[in-house]
Structure 1
């Protein structure tokens, strides 16, 4: 391959799962191109984790002022939606250019458009053919189709992050991360009516039920209405608004709102790739990959949310991409992905976090565990910040003293869970955690009392 459009490696997707692979290959002297149909940066940096957390940071000011009212802080802040969005754009607007500039400096060809395989060694990008010895696919995920009448009226989480003003009435279809985090943002930003429509029996079904009950209480106190067992059956325009119809155990209901947000799951973003032409197998859960992140075409790798692999989390995507890059450069399967204890956090206020086995899973596995569960609103770390909803559940294996699972809610949970994850990965026992001396007073210093 010696033509202008011939490369050693073409990376499809300029997010977390793609950028690092392109840089590592270029640093090794490979001729590399990367392509994306959207601005460089991927979902996390531009349309997900990072911009969302910037909005959360603003609403934390409102939450903190309310929590400390009557305790010496005299303030009544409110969110200016336009200014908050401008703050978010100070990060997101700059990111694509920074990434492209870094690729240019590394000698990586930066392409824009939709890539579609026409042969195992060729992709067509907006009508132009590009060949490569190897490909790496990291196209992420997109909102899943709900197959309901009026689905066209839904806006996505990406659209929510670009709204010019906070809707007066807003509904979220789904009860997972996106729905709960954005519902909290909207409620603290001045929305008058915020509704979550969750098909299942409870919100955030992958998290501990005792802690999600605490979060449900806090969400209700915030003024958010949560309907569980609510199956959305259709959305219809009603003047300048939208009427959302949903079925419940008590019969059909409907609500009127100004915006309806799709928050009911995502699916691998692979439909436009024409993977059959490349000999790459895929299913409903993504591209089939080995532990080396190699697809069914040995010259093509995949990582992140588009692959049928680990949890759909940004740090997981980065680790999978690193393994793929090592194997690409080695010319063999020199590395296999291993997943350490992986923490996950819901950035509501209060935040909720989890790592390891749930109580139900531990019982299903027949593990003998001591379950340490308590609400902690009366602990100093909660009292000092006026937290009204906090607690923990930690599972300690009776025979070994190992931590099998940790589930937290309250201020500092998103950092406490990282320490639990490291302790679990290192095989530390509950007694070793108790023996650790943490800076005090800090959220970490509570860990010894949780085990």
Structure 2
């Protein structure tokens, strides 16, 4: 039974079925699932409910991207016979208001009042383990049957000489800008850096992306990442790839100077600096040593059941080390697994569940499973299936023909991975996700009936490519010829 939300004396020791520390995507999912199943739950959060995703991550970034895409569409509407193609007026204060409105529209679902109404006891304060079975927060002592750590992550700040002496932005401050930057310098060519770079360029800002590695989107298939890079270059985003930063200096008028390593030590001056160099787990101050929980720079160590080195404690989402990637959908997946095991002792393991990932650029890049390089390292016989959006009727109608589907399959038709770069790739990746999760063959995807005209037909077309060699087999062609002669 759920515990009442009536106030209790601070001297009383709370003994819920579950204590969740962190009210971001992972923690709120775990708390809501547990309480809906009749368990008593304490949820502890020291900042805003909703965590990074709602307040300074996924939601505001996608709202910003949506505004930028509208501006881009206005510039190119003339090709459809609409408008004049003139440069649209950008009001950054109103763009910021749009972003905040989107956050506000979603926030009630993650509000303190809603969770208290569910029956969750919410404590707004820092949490700390005092021993292996006890947490203190907000003057309360909690001895739960099980604990779940869901404290998320925060921006990683690279060790660049001079960075600490200048004003810079991270995802925690970027969405507060109400004035248009003159020149935004982005440090990091990962998904976040690429998304923000394109969004601000479409909003009329000069943008330079600095990436010390050999290419942007280093975790993705290089062939597909190159399509995204070409698209952004075509829109005017400047890239400096394979170039390290020697130091950063403050200049007059609030300008920031980035001095690049190499011959001549080129200097870039920007009005704003955005650091998108990755994230690290937010696990400081939790008293993990007191709880006998092992952790390192990558996060809290967990097994395949997401259990820490303390059998009463689980870690999920961004704070867990090596548990499937720092994505909101992964955090929600973790929450469901943990509740099964923590409350009901049912088997629950990460296993080989395929995890999709999406870079919300234009064109989008969505991927699941192995890249071509990864697959070739593990399998001797592969088929690479491609289908271009330039050969898709709906893409032509919408003038969104950039990109293609690239699927990696075995010679027997098992799907090992797929990357899609193109319009709405994040939606189009799902049939490939289902195929991998349910061990369907490529022929199963080829055999489905797809509505015409839709972008989803690109999946069918790529899948049909697998069957073409069979159709070219001389014996098959002879059989067809023989049958045709029979009338």
TM-score scaled by length of structure 2: 0.86
Distance 1:218 1:324, change over 3 A: same
Q: Which residue of 1 aligns with 2:127?
A: 115
After the TM superposition, which residues 16-35 of structure 1 pair with which residues of structure 2 at under 5 Å, given as runs? 16-35=25-44
Contact 1:170 1:194 in 2 (8 A): yes
* Higher normalized strand content (fraction of residues): 1
Whole-Å separation in 1 of the counterparts to 2:155 and 2:209? 17
1:55 aligns with 2:64: yes
User: Is there any run of 5+ residues in structure 2 with no aligned partner, and where?
Assistant: 1-7, 464-487
Q: Which residue of 1 aligns with 2:260?
A: 246
Task: Give CA deviations for 1:189-226 in whole Å, capped at 9, x if unaligned.
Answer: 111x2010001000001111111111111111111101
Q: Which residue of 1 aligns with 2:476?
A: none
1:177 aligns with 2:191: yes
Contact 2:246 2:259 in 1 (8 A): yes
Q: Which residue of 1 aligns with 2:104?
A: 93
CA shift for structure 1 position 374: 5.4
CA shift for structure 1 position 159: 1.1
Q: Which residue of 1 aligns with 2:339?
A: 325
CA shift for structure 1 position 373: 3.5
Contact 2:23 2:150 in 1 (8 A): yes
After the TM superposition, which residues 49-448 of structure 1 pair with which residues of structure 2 at under 5 Å, given as runs? 49-75=58-84, 76=86, 77-99=88-110, 100-125=112-137, 129-152=141-164, 153-191=167-205, 193-239=206-252, 240-248=254-262, 250=263, 252-308=265-321, 309-330=323-344, 332=345, 334-373=347-386, 375-377=388-390, 379-387=392-400, 389-398=402-411, 400-448=412-460
Task: Give CA deviations for 1:361-396 in whole Å, capped at 9, x if unaligned.
Answer: 111113411212454335423322223622232222
Distance 1:435 1:128, change over 3 A: closer
CA shift for structure 1 position 13: 0.6
The alignment partner of 1:33 has SS state of strand
Distance 1:201 1:401, change over 3 A: same
Contact 2:450 2:460 in 1 (8 A): no
Whole-Å separation in 1 of the counterparts to 2:130 and 2:121? 20
Whole-Å separation in 1 of the counterparts to 2:407 and 2:90? 36
Whole-Å separation in 2 of the counterparts to 1:396 and 1:66? 40
Task: Give CA deviations for 1:24-82 in whole Å, capped at 9, x if unaligned.
Answer: 33344443221212210012222111221122222222233334423312154444322
Contact 1:310 1:316 in 2 (8 A): yes
Number of residues of Structure 1 aligned to a counterpart in Structure 2: 447
Q: Which residue of 1 aligns with 2:54?
A: 45
User: Is there any run of 5+ residues in structure 1 with no aligned partner, and where?
Assistant: none
CA shift for structure 1 position 130: 4.2
Larger Rg: 2
Q: Which residue of 1 aligns with 2:5?
A: none
TM-score scaled by length of structure 1: 0.93
Whole-Å separation in 1 of the counterparts to 2:37 and 2:390? 53
| Coordinate RMSD, CA, aligned | 2.1
